Structure 1
Amino acid sequence: MDFGFDETTTEHRERLLAFMDECVYPAEHAFHEQAATSGWGPPPLLEDLKAEARRRDLWNLFLPGEHGAGLTNLQYAPLAEVMGWSPGIAPPATNCAAPDTGNMEVLAQFGSDWQRKEYLEPLLNGEIRSAFAMTEPDVASSDATNIATSIRRDGNEYVINGRKWYITGAMNPNCAVFIVMGKTDPDAPSHRQQSMVLVPRDTPGLTVRRGMRVFGYDDADHGGHAEVVFEDVRVPVDNLIGEEGGGFAIAQARLGPGRIHHCMRLIGMAERAVELMCRRALSRNAFGKAVAQQGVVQDWIAESRVRIEQLRLLVLKTAWLMDTVGNRGAHTEIQAIKIATPAGVEWILDKAIQVHGAGGLSQDFPLAGLWAGARSLRFADGPDEVHKRSLAYRELKKYMG
């Protein structure tokens, strides 16, 4: 395993670092001010940043193959880490923000020609946004087989009924289409019951009921999270993605790369937290000496560095395995990074907040928002407990007779 940056990664990373220094960090204050007053729409400043990112050829970096930048998981991972230093701005500015990333991957891999023309192309161009509707409030949807939303065929149409929530991006007025996961055959084997269909936002019967908060944050700067109701929503059968019963497999294919993206951005968030923690500790005095000289603070800083290095190596190994043996071959490591990274970064952010005192809780520093994001990722793409259950079973299976 060689995790050194190759020429392609180095070249992209240098341009991305320059974009962050010259465009993203200087825009953060104005961006968040605009976000606070622009409702659920994107801050106007975002369009300027997107145009500049495209000019610098920093666009669709996440997507391999002909539709994107053609980078491997291992090449993209360090770029996702850089974006994590400003996770509310850099990903959407470079068209690398969830849930559009996963939706573009689904359409690129499983979409029909017309689906790619109608939705993938404008998503790739940053002209529209999208949402992925899977999680439901009435069932434990961490078990995908529990999903209750019905997708029933009626002639040449599918009829959709159900309720979803925490559907990221759905509050954004530019969200043009939903990928909806529901049951087409409740009597099929458990992992062949679900299918995915495309539902345009303006389809009759689709109601975006309300925005959902995350630890008090509305996350409006990247489209918010919504409760969405489907009442006798009708779409043509051509809106089916892939085949009937293929929804679970498609979801797994979608979530693998997404977990790499999330985890590497988390490491970037942790690096920023350590920088802020060190600067704050050196600038404040308590009990007759700099906070940085307090033993407990030094312990936090040292432990943070160790955790970052451990997590980065684990995520890079996972990216390398995905590139060399595929998502299935990297299954154990994908689950391991999803268990370890959000929890580890949450711990680092907690200590950075502690060093900042009351300021760490305030809007004057990004730490509280970063902490809320890290904590929520212990649910996104499956909660810790589901991954631990599956990972433990894989370990036990080695010793079963």
Structure 2
Amino acid sequence: MNDTYDVLIVGGGLVGASLAIALDGSGLSVALAEAAAPRVDLQPSYDERNLALARASLNALEALGVLDARSPATPIRRIHVSRRGDFGAVRLDHGELGLPAFGAVMPARELGNALLRRLDACTSLARLAPAQAIAIAIEAGADAVSVRLRLGDAEREVRARLLVGADGTESFVRSAFGIGAERHDYAQSAFVTTLTTERPLDGTAYERFTDSGPVALLPLGERRAGLVLSVPAEEAPRVASLDDEAFLAFVHERFGWRAGRFSRPGKRKPYPLARLLAERTTAPRTVLVGNAAQTVHPLGAQGFNLGLRDALTLAELLREAQAAATDPGAADLLARHVERRAGDRHATTSFSDDLVRLMGNDVLPLRLARSLGFHVLDRFPPLKRRFALRGMGWRGDVSTLGLMR
């Protein structure tokens, strides 16, 4: 049994699985340590959320062979952004801006299914599951990281020239290296569910801001829609206890009636919302990606898209290193990854955080400024196009897999 790999990915969620797939066929020996057995109903990140995939993410997932006819993705052709109590709105239409669809909406569980099918087809991947990292060690100047894994009742020592922490917000890899993290509790909880709309959304995604938090409505085809409803944390227990009829009335109170009457809400539970930024994303022969590196507010649907861009950039650098027969865990490779990701990481996390604070403030001067901003952005196509392109994932140093085509 092989106990030494070029790359060990700890974390088999959406980002970790995507990285493993992106490295398939690279010539590198890769192992993926998954906390749960590889069944979609056991993966903690393959839940009932509906993901808004940016165009760059769709491009990459299609190029990697993840998305196919069995992958139900609903195109986002229009975006409508507004705030209750402010005048004006921002309306983006892909046809008017000369852009392909802005992205697509896909249930996280279905993306998980697609990733698992593609992982099954990988020819050079060792899958260790269920496996939990319990200890990490590296000696100064060593050419590999040593990771102790718990696999059921047994333990196993694995060595890797590069360790990738893709193990989520409460990352063991991050804490094992003593990497601190800046945390901010938004004092909000998000309810994630689906519902049926009286009128078809027809490819329109809505983002509606209110004093109590944002509400997003995402198209899922036919008249089904994904809902993300944020509420103050202290209200979450009350909202969770509402029956279907009362819950739908609450949603209408917050969102309005643009899509007609809502019906048939799905299962729902609150998720606490917080922001986390790792103080650094590398350690000796180690790199953090996805939520282990940064966890953002779901506003703007940037979390998975940002993490996927981490993975794609890393895969690109590792493939280049393999082609040049250089060390995949070399300090200069990790430094290049930090440099290439810095602009996108800073801009995206800052934008998400600033937007939450800006849209949640109800003072009159700010309301007037927001309304003026909506008015200006909505009436200048070049500005709208630039805004749309950034939201589509074409920001900073983009991996070739995600480029426009």
Normalised by the size of structure 1, how large is the TM-score? 0.26
Greater strand share, structure number? 2
Bigger RCO of structures 1 and 2 (CA < 8 A, at least 6 apart): 2
Instruction: Pick the structure with more helix per residue.
Output: 1
The TM-score normalised by the length of structure 2 is 0.26
